[in-house]
Structure 1
Amino acid sequence: MGDFLHSFFDIHQILAVLPALLGEGLRNTLIIASLALVLGLAVGLLLAMLLISARWWLRAPARVYVDVFRGLPAIVTVSLIGIGLPSAGVRLFGQSPMGYAILAVGLINAAYIAEIFRSGIQAVPPGQAEAGRSLGMSHLTTLLLVVVPQGIRNVLPALANQFIVAVKESSLVYLLGLAVGERELYFIAQQAQAISYNSSSFVAAGLVYIVFTVPLTHLVNWFDRRLREGRRPTSGGTGPSAAPQPLVPVGATGFEAGA
């Protein structure tokens, strides 16, 4: 029992590695996850638009991308992008592996975000698009100003949860051998364990992940509940007998909305 406690709960090892975890490790983990999420949102939205296209030659490559990146283990994708590309002479980010780490995690998340966006867009009532076209909007304008914003609002909690996933997936970039100053949480813990042969550094890293992600998960769940409560019909009347609300496209002025 004593050996077990020493291997996993050595307070001296935990206190020794904690400053690096809370400083460099947490900072770089959030940088990788945040920039990867931005990339994932941009690529994911584009993929979602292609997935709902009426043209098969637009849907097909988007579907292949989503299926491939969702089907591959994340560690394989990180290795192919972060190790394979530089080895093949494709040096997009110079000597620093940080850019490859962000690219890999971002492209992985894009596949999942694309499906999130697609489900949100397709959940928008068809009447919204019809109302947009009745105002003289083109199909593309209706999609961009009416349907997509409502679809994004439908999936905001899922997108926030995807950030939590990106935070945890950032631990895979230790494979790329990040330089000092670029190390994320897991890489710092791994290096500490390699020096001390004690797994307490992994426990410390796990605690940092938990302290950050668990409250964020509960915040996302709370936001999701509030969003659902806001959609419930009120006694004021939004039921079948209530008068339909006018369509107001995002970005429209009062004149354009028919006010």
Structure 2
Amino acid sequence: MDAWSQLIATFFDWKAMAQVIPDLLTVGLPNTLILAITSGIIGCVLGMLLAVMGISRHALPRWLSRVYTDIFRGLPAAVIILLIGIGLGPVIRQLTGSTNPYPLGILALSLMAAAYIGEIFRSGIQSVEKGQMEASRALGFPYGATMRLVIIPQGIRRVLPALVNQFIALIKDSSLIFFLGLLASQREIFRIGNDAAANTGNLSPLVAAGILYLILTIPLTHLVNLIDRRLREGRREGPTSSDTADAGTSPAGSPAGVTPGGQP
């Protein structure tokens, strides 16, 4: 067998791919989406709390938010997952009697996501013009209501592309949960592809897992670009009827192109 044929057999064995695809779709895909979506929702809630603490007028909340963000953004994802999944495992086992590491994997992903999402929210909130706050306070809105009803919604809208990017990162980071030794029914896309590759001695199942990741992430990447373009360009509106009427007359009320004296 020449080198090219060996390369094709190693990475593109269609029979090996076909054998692993059912497990990828029925077990790996749902678990990957559960991990990403659940941790994304929890991360958004915690991230918003961190963002509000980060822009607080009091030093202590700002300091706590900064310390948390620096730690969870500075450590590798694998280290955080192992520390939480293995370190908290005995404590959870004593409290609940359960040895299931799946919730601890979600917790680790959520805590990591919160650090990044918190910074995303904070930058979006701080990008809103100060005049928005001043105008709302002038209308009688208290500080809390102004933040909740005016500032934060505008800040979130401005960072939607970055939030989608973070969700894409969560989809990929969910592959690291295999460190915790999940049950067969809890395996995500990467673990199923990796197990099949180890059993067959062929990397084609892992390539199939990678293709499924691309199917998930590439449309989301284009969605980010679409959202970003729409936010930058805004909605293009055609001329209104009043604008058309104004364009057809001169400032003195005469037809366009004719002076009040009747001369063109």
What is the distance in 1 between the residues matched to 2:232 and 2:238? 13
Give the corresponding residue for 2:188: 184
**TM superposition shift of 1:90:** 3.1
1:17 pairs, out of 13, 17, 20, with 20
Structure 1 position 194 matched with structure 2 position 194: no
Give the corresponding residue for 1:133: 137
What is the distance in 2 between the residues matched to 1:222 and 1:150? 18
Question: Is the 2:89–2:101 contact (alpha carbons within 8 Å) kept by the matching residues of 1?
Answer: no
**TM superposition shift of 1:228:** 1.5
**TM superposition shift of 1:30:** 0.4
Larger RCO (CA within 8 A; separation ≥ 6): 1
Larger radius of gyration, structure 1 or 2? 2
**TM superposition shift of 1:233:** 10
Give the corresponding residue for 1:53: 56
2:234 pairs, out of 230, 233, 251, with 230
**Structure 2 length normalisation: TM-score?**
0.85
Give the corresponding residue for 2:148: 144
Structure 1 position 168 matched with structure 2 position 172: yes
Once the two structures are superposed, the pairs formed by residues 1-259 of structure 1 within 5 Å of their partners are 1=3, 2-87=5-90, 89-91=91-93, 94-230=98-234
What is the distance in 1 between the residues matched to 2:47 and 2:239? 38
Worse-matched range after superposition: 140-149 or 89-98: 89-98
Q: Percent identity?
A: 51
Worse-matched range after superposition: 1-10 or 15-24: 1-10
Question: Is the 2:32–2:171 contact (alpha carbons within 8 Å) kept by the matching residues of 1?
Answer: yes
Partner deviation per Cα, 1:161-202 (whole Å, 9 max, x = no partner): 111111001000011111122110011111112211211111
**TM superposition shift of 1:232:** 8.1
**TM superposition shift of 1:95:** 2.0
More helix by share: 2
Letter in 1 for 2:92: V
Aligned-CA RMSD value = 1.8
What is the distance in 2 between the residues matched to 1:136 and 1:18? 60
Matched residue count = 235
SS at match of 1:81: helix
Q: For the structure 1 residues 74 and 167, does the alpha-carbon distance in structure 2 shift closer, same or farther, using more than 3 Å as the test?
A: same
What is the distance in 1 between the residues matched to 2:42 and 2:155? 19
Which stretches in structure 1 are left out of the alignment for 5+ residues? 237-259
What is the distance in 2 between the residues matched to 1:167 and 1:26? 10
What is the distance in 2 between the residues matched to 1:234 and 1:99? 52
Give the corresponding residue for 1:240: none
SS at match of 2:99: coil
Q: For the structure 1 residues 24 and 164, does the alpha-carbon distance in structure 2 shift closer, same or farther, using more than 3 Å as the test?
A: same
What is the distance in 1 between the residues matched to 2:218 and 2:206? 18
**TM superposition shift of 1:140:** 1.5
